[in-house]
Amino acid sequence: MTLSLGHKSPNGKSSSNNGSLNKSSLEIGSLEMQLLRKPIKNLHISVLPPDGRIRVSAPEKMTDTAVRMAVISRIPWIKKQQNDFAKQPRQSNRQMVNGECHYLWGKRYRLDVIERSGKHEIDVSSGKIQLHVSPTTSQENRALVLSEFYRQTLKERISRLLPHWQKELGIAPTAWGVKKMKTKWGSCNIEARRIWLNLELAKMPPECLEFVLVHELVHLLERKHNDRFKALMGTHLPDWRERRDRLNQMPLAHNNWSY
Ligand SMILES: [Zn+2]
């Protein structure tokens, strides 16, 4: 585990703790947490639902080093809490009935189920996702029709984004794909130069998809989430932190993206 010293304010600039700063962020290894300075006696750590965000409340007088040491000693507990959240189902089980809310590209849509014979089809217009299925189509198969629509829509958008980013970064994956992933928005097999993107990204704002895609592509240039990685992100996608935070704030977010 690597430890970066000094904590960072939310705008990403390093700042020293001079007592006037009462809200900032703290990075320990791959964990990013919110640090609040309060007039309290003991340090307190909270791991918050639904996505396991970490909030550390520390006495105003406690030094940064002491805060870090206290947090480090609690890392196994923090990870356990986060794992417990990750195991919980993130979405209520969908019934695939009229009036249900479903997301597409960060926007809420009302589901309209239109029963008819013939081809399964999905139309998206004016706040509605219209699902055309036959009256005998099971709930499970209705959900499948929708998830295939998400897959297709997501793949189309990735195909449109890739040429630009391959040129911008001067690299290309040998293969890419979309799949369901429980704990990650994206992944990169550096040796095989293969990238996977989470199907759930179709539900998130498009700028979040672009952030995850760029993040995974940058891994083809730098394996680790180190300073070089962050510098590459900063050069090519200057607002990557805002995009990441947006992703973490989405109601369907099931994983806190710490980089
Ligand atoms: Zn990464």
Cα gap 190→6, rounded to integer Å: 31
Q: List the end-to-end C-alpha distance of the chain, in Å, as a whole number.
A: 15
- Mean per-residue pLDDT of the chain: 85
Residues 185 and 197: beta-carbon distance below 8 Å: yes
The pair of three-digit structure tokens given for residue 154, joined into one six-digit string:
């997501």
Give the best-scoring range by mean pLDDT among 1-15, 109-123, 237-251. 109-123
Domain 101-249 in CATH 3.30.2010.10? The answer is yes
Ligand 1 center–CA 62 separation, angstroms: 32
Ligand 1 center–CA 134 separation, angstroms: 42
Cα gap 198→3, rounded to integer Å: 29
Does the pLDDT at position 133 exceed 90?
yes
Residues 96 and 146: beta-carbon distance below 8 Å: yes
Ligand 1 center–CA 111 separation, angstroms: 34
Ligand 1 center–CA 121 separation, angstroms: 36
* pLDDT computed for residue 175 by the predictor: 96
Side chain identity, residue 69:
M
More confident residue, 20 or 140: 140
More confident residue, 5 or 69: 69
The position carrying tokens 């984004």 is: 161
Q: How confident is the model at residue 230 (pLDDT cuts 50, 70, 90)?
A: very high
Domain with CATH 3.30.2010.10 in the chain: 101-249
**What is the reported pTM?**
0.64
Q: How confident is the model at residue 163 (pLDDT cuts 50, 70, 90)?
A: very high
Q: Average pLDDT for residues 127-155, to the nearest whole number?
A: 94
Ligand 1 center–CA 94 separation, angstroms: 31
* pLDDT computed for residue 126 by the predictor: 87
Ligand 1 center–CA 106 separation, angstroms: 22
pLDDT in tens, 176-213: 999 998 778 999 999 999 999 999 999 999 999 999 99
* pLDDT computed for residue 93 by the predictor: 64
Ligand 1 center–CA 219 separation, angstroms: 7
Ligand 1 center–CA 30 separation, angstroms: 10
Does the pLDDT at position 17 exceed 70?
no
Cα gap 103→113, rounded to integer Å: 15
Ligand 1 center–CA 216 separation, angstroms: 6
Ligand 1 center–CA 257 separation, angstroms: 9
